[in-house]
Structures are given as structure tokens and as C-alpha cells.
Structure 1
Amino acid sequence: MGAETAANPARRLFAAVLVCEAIVIALAIPVAVTVLDVDGGAAGAVCGGLAVACLLMAGLLRFPWAVAAGSVLQVLIIATGFMVPAMFFLGIVFGALWATAIWLGRKAAAAQAR
């Protein structure tokens, strides 16, 4: 797939989505604990782990498999909506941004190939 190549022209866009997503998912921790009475350890482990995973994935985007792994990460972040319902919406928004980055990456790769 053209969007997953190591020389992906959309790599900065992917990284921006992941870093912003890490911030949002980290901010879901206090919401889960104070507003929704979720156990602090569980919220910290799930949301904190996903935030760290987003940051790590932003650094690993030079590898061809990183876009596919980031897509799996998008699904996991949408699933945090079971802990913090607002994350269903926010996860879908970030998933749409991720899909847009894939689409733009393919268009840019095709333009570079010409």
C-alpha cells in the first residue's frame, strides 16, 4: 500500500494526529476518575498506556508497518468509549483524521511517482 512506505510524504500528518490523540486520551483519565467514577488505576493503565502507545507510534512511523499498527491503535482508542463515552465521538474524529492522512499519503505518493 502506498501510504505505508518508509518515505511516506504524509508522515508528519500521521505524527500530528497521534500526538494530539495522545494528549486527548491522557486528558480522559481525570474525566474517567472524577466524573465517571472509574477506578484510577484502570483509567491510568488503559488511557495512559494508549497515550504512550500513540507517542511511541509517532516515533515509529518510519517503518512500513507503522501505519497499519496506527490503524489498530485507532480502533483501541474508539473502544475507550466504553470507559469514557465521549471517547466514542473523539475516537471517531481521530479515526477520520487518520483515514484522511492515509488517503492524502496515497495521493502524494502517486503524485511523486509521476
Structure 2
Amino acid sequence: MSETPGGTPADEAKTVTPPPKDPMKGFRGVIAGTLIMEAITVALALPVINKLGDGITSGLGWTVLGIALVLLVLCGMLKRAWALPVVLVLQLGLIAMAGALPAIAIIGVVFLAAYLWFLWLRRDVARRMAAGTLPSQQQQPQA
């Protein structure tokens, strides 16, 4: 909250004080950790492709390996506004592989649900922060 000369106490009462610790700061960390777990999970599908499919050097194998690498690279790019939509599009790409390898599609569905849940939580925290109802925004009793 910025101090303005001549500001009235009524003006200060109307503004919502931000929490001392930004709850949105950890969102990127949660997404990055989830991306790493997903990249590992997707890469673990490569032995299945080798055994049941045409091998790791097939188009499906290269595609799965490419998606796993892109997921790892996106961990470092989460500050960019376009990174999260790319993550969601990659989930749709995994789901689209249902015809070739249903296990990959299941991985896509599970992680898509996780990312959508994270986005819903972020929206809820932002709404509560704007309303000033987060526990960290409440006045602490003076002892």
C-alpha cells in the first residue's frame, strides 16, 4: 500500500492489504514440479513403446521422447505468459495419441486434470486475495 500525502483514513480502510507473503509465488514451483513428474512418467512409456510398438526409433517413440523433453524445457520457461497454454496443448497432444498408445492418453488425461485443478486453485486464491479474506490478510490480535 502506498502512502499518499493528504490521504484520509477512509481511503486507507477501503483498500485491501496484500498478504505479507505472496501466495502466488509458489504456483510456478508447483507447476514446475508437476512438469518434471510428468516428463518422467512420459519417458517411462518408452519401454512400453519399445516392447508393444514399433520400437523407440519409430515415429511414436520420437514423438513421446520429444514431448518429454519439451516438458522439461518448459520448467524453466514458466515465467513467460505463453508457457502454461503450451503445457495444456501438450496434454491434448498426449490425449490425441489414444489410438496409437492408450497408456499415453491416460497420462495426458491425469495430468490435464491436475493442471486444471491447479488453475482453479490459483483463481480461487486470487479471488480471495482481492476480497481480503485470506488468513494472512486478517488483523492479528495485539498482545
Q: TM-score normalized by structure 2?
A: 0.66
What is the correspondence of 1:1-114 to structure 2 with a 5 Å cutoff? 9-34=26-51, 36-41=52-57, 42-113=59-130, 114=132
Change (3 A) 1:69 1:37: closer
CA distance in 2, matches of 1:103, 1:8: 16
Mapped contact 2:95–2:104 kept (Cα < 8 A): yes
Shift of 1:88: 2.0
CA distance in 2, matches of 1:83, 1:21: 19
% of aligned pairs identical?
A: 34
Mapped contact 1:47–1:80 kept (Cα < 8 A): no
Partner SS, residue 82 of structure 1:
coil
Give the unaligned 5+ runs of structure 2.
1-23, 133-143
CA distance in 2, matches of 1:31, 1:47: 11
Q: TM-score normalized by structure 1?
A: 0.81
Shift of 1:84: 1.9
Give the unaligned 5+ runs of structure 1.
1-6
Change (3 A) 1:104 1:14: same
Deviations 1:15-69, CA, capped at 9 Å, x for gaps: 12211110111111110111x1323212431111000010111211111111111
Asked which structure has the greater CA Rg, the reply is 2
CA distance in 2, matches of 1:109, 1:58: 22
Report the RMSD for the aligned CA atoms in angstroms: 1.8
Partner SS, residue 30 of structure 1:
helix
Higher relative contact order (CA 8 A, sep 6+): 1
